[in-house]
Structure 1
Amino acid sequence: MATKDTILNKIQILITNNFDSPEAAYNFFDKDGDGKLKKREIVELLKKAEISGFIRGIVSSKLIEGYDSSGDELIDWEEFKSAVNKIKET
Structure 2
Amino acid sequence: MTTEESILNKIQILITNHFETPEEAFSFFDADSSGKLKKSEIVKLLKQAEINGFIRGLVGSKLIEGYDKSDDEEIDWQEFKAAVDKIKTA
In the TM superposition, structure 1's runs of 4+ consecutive aligned residues that sit over 4 Å from their partners are: none
* Residue in structure 2 matched with residue 30 of structure 1 by the alignment: 30
Deviations 1:26-61 (A, max 9, x none): 000000001010000000000000000000000000
* Residue in structure 2 matched with residue 74 of structure 1 by the alignment: 74
SS at 1:54 equivalent: coil
Which consecutive residues of structure 1, in runs of 5 or more, have no partner in the other structure? Answer: none
* Residue in structure 1 matched with residue 61 of structure 2 by the alignment: 61
* Residue in structure 2 matched with residue 50 of structure 1 by the alignment: 50
Which consecutive residues of structure 2, in runs of 5 or more, have no partner in the other structure? Answer: none
CA shift, 1:3, in A, is 1.0
TM-score (norm 2): 0.97
How many residue pairs match? The answer is: 89
* Mapped partners of 1:35, 1:4: distance in 2: 25
> What is the root-mean-square deviation of aligned Cα atoms in Å?
0.9
* Residue in structure 1 matched with residue 17 of structure 2 by the alignment: 17
